[in-house]
Amino acid sequence: MFILWIPIFLNGQENGEVRRIKIKGNKSFSKGELMDKIDFTNASWVGKTFFKKEPSYYSSDAWELNKARLVSFYQMNGFLQVKVELKNLKKISKNYRVDLTIAIDEGTPVIVRSVFFTGVKGTERDTVLLWEQFQQLKQELIVKEGSSFRDDAVRQDQKRITEWFASRGYAYVEVQPDISLSSDTLFASINWLIEKGPLCRFGEVTIVGNERVPLKAVEKQITFREGEIYNYKAISQSQKQVYGLGLFRIASFQTSLTNPPSDTLAVTVKTEEAPRLSTRVGVGYGLEEHFRTFLEMGYLSFPGKTMRTKFYAKHSGLEPYRFEAIITQPSIFGPNSSLEFNPSVRQRKEEGFESFLWGGDLSLYHNFGSRLTGSVSMFYERVDIEIASDFERSLEDMDQSTYSKNGFSVGMSFNNSMPKSEPALGWSLAVNAKVNGAIFNSPYPFFKYMFEGKRFQPVTNGVVLAMRLEAGNIIRFGESEATPVEERFFAGGSRSVRGWSRYMLGPLDDEGIPLGGNSLLEGSVEPRIKVVGPFSIVLFVDWGNVWSRESTFRLNEIHWSAGAGFRFATPIGPVGMDFARPVFDENSKWQIHLNVGHAF
């Protein structure tokens, strides 16, 4: 009876729909990492009903295939003695479904005992291997004596060693690992066999495919010249700089490697220009902006052959109209700098004021690296404003409804968050400052600065902790004691402290009209949790306040709110709704926010 019962029980689960998967014993890798290696998936009712997610089905053959994948994954990461078993295969009563429990005994990982570097040709040690720079490279490799052996780490080191030689003139370098690995002792030795080939120099550089863009404009982006020692990084950097012009769809750098190897390498730059005219149109709805629509048109090689022009028009409840142009001259003082002229005309309608503004700014941008950007701007703006608050209009310092602003602004931003569309790891930091009245006289001279920091930290599979801190201050100088209303700080709304409606956290007059202030401090903590498919939820706590006086940050006057929301991933970004209310506050009214994108 017992001998017959086991196969009958197992066969009873054949082709059963997999409802739930448990993984036990995994210490080195998360459940999410392991689930990515197998075909079995959890079949939830939500996923099948709303997202048409296809369930997976258990069979003994399917299990053996998935078991082999898990074993292979562990072995590639140095766990040669791993054991993977299926425990407690359970059939769900009344439904032809099964629960799977996968038990993993990882065993002891293989440890790298020694790492050697050997030149393939000749019996004497290659002198390049004695260079101080090469000794530094060895310290930066992943696979070292005493580290765990991983196939992926070996491949990454192979790529890094190859690029190191290719960046020092050895275009034909071949790097191969000779691996000695024992499943008995669980030790591994690696001998890197390096055949560097001849020392090469750049030959003739030919550029093809450009029609509108002048040849000299492309040549200026190329960091190497004929006769210089071949450098792989120089080619990569040149390609980035050609793309940085924003005028090409394709920019391919092809090096002519020959057999037998030649010490002079010609380079062909093949380009394909981007379409001269591009357009984008958008329509949407938000609880703050209500109906909104925009039109964006880009035109390349205008007004100059290497310039880009973008025209933008928008209508919404907050901006009944907005028209602006951005004219960009890339590579103005070098490949990493650009000059932008941005004229604009717009109307703005807020709870506390309505304004008409026209003007523009001239900005110089410089990339100090792939993650760090700085800017310096000169601005002029003419303002015609109508203030809603009777109290504010009665102030002697606010008796001008038409005035101008002018001066300089500077900014610096650092961003290593990834992916760019929906960050899950990294930092985003920005600091900006502006001085009004620095060029011509202005009735409201001031110095304004702001800081914003964001952190994105993975917590576990499918969960990202997003955090934000923002602080700003306005210092008035000269005879005026007032700050222009449209320049003041406001808090509350879908991208601020969400327990309050737009601009309603901070100083208000007797009629409840927001007045804004000269000091701002606010922040957020928000776990973002993937549920199934494109659907995710967020939980958040926001805090902050605005103070009328400058340099005023009173922590005992901070207001708090908490809430939750959902997100649905779309090609244009996540679309979602947030529900929030104040906490530790007399005001307990719920706020609802509907928006495209995350709050920050």
Distances (CA, A) of 204 to 265, 316, 547: 8, 55, 64
Give how far the C-alpha of residue 6 lies from the chain's centroid of Cα atoms, to the nearest Å: 52
> Which helix or strand (DSSP H or E) is residue 126 part of?
none
What's the rounded mean pLDDT across residues 385-392? 88
pLDDT tens digits, 272-281: 999 999 999 9
Distance separating the N- and C-terminal Cα atoms of the chain: 63
What's the rounded mean pLDDT across residues 423-436? 96
As a 3-state breakdown, the chain gives helix, strand, coil percent values, each rounded to 5, of 15, 45, 35
- The pLDDT-based confidence of 51 (bands split at 50, 70, 90) is low
Assign residue 294 a region (left: φ > 0; alpha: ψ between -120 and 50; beta: otherwise).
beta
Where is average pLDDT lowest: 90-99, 290-299, 313-322, 482-491?
A: 90-99
For residues 598 and 420, the answer to whether their CB atoms sit within 8 Å is no
Nearest Cα to Cα of residue 468 among 449, 456, 487, 454: 454
Residues 6+ apart with CB under 8 A from 95: 17, 19
Q: What is the 3 state secondary structure string of 24-42?
A: ECCCCCCHHHHHCCCCCCC
pLDDT tens digits, 433-459: 999 999 988 899 999 999 999 999 999
Class of residue 127 by CB neighbours under 10 A (exposed 0-12, middle 13-18, buried 19+): exposed
For 217-276, the DSSP string reads HHHTT----TTSBP-HHHHHHHHHHHHHTS-EEEEEEEE---SS--SEEEEEEEEEEPPS
* Percentage of residues of the chain with pLDDT beyond 70: 94
CA 574 to CA 564: how far, in whole Å?
15
Token pair of 85 as six digits: 């078993």
Other beta carbons less than 10 A from residue 176's beta carbon: 13
- Residue count (the chain): 600
pLDDT tens digits, 306-351: 999 999 999 999 999 999 999 999 999 999 999 999 999 999 999 9
pTM of the model: 0.83
